[in-house]
Amino acid sequence: MKDRTLKTLTRLMDSDLPLSIETLKVEMNVSPRTIRNEINEINDFLEGEGISRVQTIRGKGFILAITDNERANIQSLTDLDHSEAYLSRDERIFDLILSFSLSTEPVFCYQKEIDYQISKSTMDEDMRRVRKLLRQYDIEVVSTIKQGILLKGTERSIRTMIYDVINKSVGSIAITTGKRAETVIENLLNRYIPKETFTTLDQIYDQTISSTEESAYRDQMILFTAVWISRYSAKQVIVKSSTDLKQKKHSKMKAYTETLCTVLDVCPPEQERQYINFMLESFTSENTTESIEWVQAQLLSIQLIRHVEQATNIPFTRKEESLHEGLYKHILGLINRVKNHIQMVNPLKETIQNYYREVYRAIQTFTPQVEQITGEQLTDDEIAFLTIHFSASVSAINQDLKYTYKAVIVCNHGTVTGKLLSENLKEQFNIDIVGVLSSREIHLIEKLDVDVVFSTLALTYEQKPLLVLDPIIREEDKQTIEAFLTKHQQFKRLTNHTVDATDLFQAFIDIIKQSGGSVSGKIYQSMEKLFDTHQLKINKKEIQPMLKDILEDKDILLSEQAADWSDAIRKVSVPLLEKAIIEERYVDAMIQSVEEYGPYIVIGEHIALAHARPEDGVNKLGVSVATLEEPIVFGNEDNDPVKIIFCLAAVDAYSHLNIMKNLVDLINDKEKIEEMVQCKDIQQFKKILYSEQSKITETGR
């Protein structure tokens, strides 16, 4: 059975609902005619084994109704089919790459010819393609008489290559599901990385990071860890660590890697521990200000929201707070990953491209700005991840705020995908989604005040009415959902109304401060969640300061003379030092960061934003600015020379967002920049700087 036919069969086995030709066409990326041919081939196979055929339901599509015994029989038969299958060229190339990079024994081409039952000329062509593919990763294939085929390249490059090749060939690794039949490619993978390894890492993830989370991030982290442990076990190590491997002193990721070293009885050197911790942390969104790219990520998220809004005419600024938070965290991880040549696989890519084409294309046109920072082209998979954030907001913007059902969603595709399904359900069917759970949290449903359950995977749950859906609602799903709600309409409830509680929120903040306490980012976010839980709406823009609220006259320096870029940073820092907003070590950190990472602080033509991490010596939120008498070259070819330099002292990842938005407006206004550079009077400088701010404030609030 062909690989695509097997995937179609697997898809039918895993669905409890009819699948339309349109759905299968999109997922398999083939024509309707091909899908019909695949169904015919599947039916021939099933009939030959005495198993029920795929049924066609008019107006709905195909469904495979089989017993558990029939399911087990199909799995055993398809596994046998894989073990005896003649490998295609793509499968041989996949096997060759893994054997060269993960095999503990020498690999010789003549032996592979015998194993594959192919001619020498065919083998030569396979090797030519392997060499061409690996050159993309700066890896050379070397043939030796005694040691067989060897890979010549940096260990980082080889590990990245293995991870990337597995992702592109296998797609999303199914670690815990027992229903899915394995493909030929997956069986080949398990020859080099046993399934038990993935299972063990999954269990360690449960113990140290999360026992409930199910997402693409989790699976990708486990895959990357499996590649690392396989290479390290084969005595292939990182020679020395890079200077950019800054990590948290205490993190779940560190606990994860330390636990797996104990369980697997390995003791890697410090540079290996630094490497794997740093790489894995780039898959998460926890570290929001410790990465040097945190300001770039915030600027990009603000710019991206505005770009997509202009391109699609969808008012995303109405949901800007929640959209920005998720987008910023995702972009921060994306920058770290892509800089290290790691890009994730998105199992819903094709569906997202088809059903959210307008937003996807808008993001595509913005990606060059992201790629300027990452230095590498973004894959369609990563663009699809960004699209999910916007697509969830589309539904939130359009939804009717009157809810008539209380429901919970069970989703193993990750939080963002669950949120997308949640917003779609609320928009189209007046449903109040209480929460999104993973399959590991089913036991929590009975503790929630809900009436119905929606799930993206087949479940057996008899306590509440349950409907299985795909993560993205299609036209054929709408009638099914409508019928489900009608059947259980006895659970309808009265609608809830939100109340604007911004003044109440601000009053709480003032009470805390008056009582001698301080409001940290953590406390602020906890209060936001508390208000959200009780359906008390707050306008977050009104409680975040604007640039004009923070920038005092003493913070503005005009026509400053600076010897070079480091002197410019020291000069613009003086007002903040004098007010003890920052410490001297913060100035040193800003300069050291540019020396280490390059002119990343040059954020636009002629504009620099000097900053470091909040923990490097920031005492409170502050901003200063200096115009330079003579423009300074920072080393940024696109935006040099710098004529205006700001210094940002941020205490967390949220309180300065309106200031960042003001700076984004400035970046896009070359005329204003030139006026500010020529200005010699502080009051006139402020008038020019804030000339459009009142309009921004009115539209923002």
Q: Which helix (H) or strand (E) holds 156?
A: helix 155-170
Tell whether the torsion through CA atoms of 256, 257, 263 and 264 is positive or negative: positive
Residue 181 carries which DSSP code? P
Q: Where in the chain is the domain with CATH 1.10.1790.10?
A: 294-396
CATH topology of domain 3-83: Arc Repressor Mutant, subunit A (1.10.10)
| Phi–psi pair at 659, nearest 5 degrees | -65, -40
Q: Are 370 and 296 in contact (CB under 8 A)?
A: no
What pLDDT is attached to residue 346? 82
What pLDDT is attached to residue 694? 37
Cβ-based neighbours of 635, under 8 Å, separated by 6 or more: 565, 598, 599
Q: Where in the chain is the domain with CATH 1.10.10.10?
A: 3-83
Total-model pTM: 0.67
Place of tokens 């030569």: 124
340: alpha, beta or left? (left if phi > 0; alpha if psi -120 to 50)? alpha
Across the chain, which has 701 residues, the per-10-residue mean pLDDT values are 78 84 81 89 89 88 88 74 63 94 91 88 93 93 90 91 88 54 78 90 89 76 92 82 47 85 89 84 64 81 91 79 82 85 82 88 93 89 90 69 77 82 86 88 89 88 90 86 87 62 68 66 66 62 71 93 94 94 93 88 91 89 93 90 93 78 86 92 91 45 34
Please state whether beta strands 140-144 and 148-152 pair in parallel, antiparallel, or not at all (unpaired): antiparallel
Cβ-based neighbours of 68, under 8 Å, separated by 6 or more: none
Residue 244 identity (one-letter amino acid):
D
Determine whether domain 547-700 maps to CATH 3.40.930.10: yes
Three-class HEC string of 340-357: CCCCCCCCCHHHHHHHCH
d(C-alpha 613, C-alpha 583), whole Å: 12
What CATH homologous superfamily does 399-491 map to?
Answer: Response regulator (3.40.50.2300)
Q: Which helix (H) or strand (E) holds 231?
A: helix 216-233
Determine whether domain 294-396 maps to CATH 1.10.1790.10: yes
> Quick one: which of 322, 388, 329, 399 has its CA closest to 359?
388
Which residues are known to be catalytic?
A: 611
Q: Which helix (H) or strand (E) holds 160?
A: helix 155-170
d(C-alpha 588, C-alpha 290), whole Å: 16
Helical spans, DSSP H, in 583-623: 584-597
Residue 628 carries which DSSP code? E
What pLDDT is attached to residue 135? 93
d(C-alpha 603, C-alpha 168), whole Å: 34
d(C-alpha 648, C-alpha 294), whole Å: 12
Q: Where in the chain is the domain with CATH 3.40.930.10?
A: 547-700
| Phi–psi pair at 466, nearest 5 degrees | -130, 140
d(C-alpha 433, C-alpha 408), whole Å: 6
Token duo for residue 701: 């609030």
Residue 508 carries which DSSP code? H
Q: Where in the chain is the domain with CATH 3.40.50.2300?
A: 399-491
Token duo for residue 472: 């993205």
What distances in angstroms separate CA 639 from CA 372, 608, 635, one per listed residue?
Answer: 12, 9, 9
Residue 464 carries which DSSP code? S
Residues in the chain: 701
d(C-alpha 80, C-alpha 72), whole Å: 12
Cβ-based neighbours of 437, under 8 Å, separated by 6 or more: 212, 408, 409, 410, 411, 444, 445
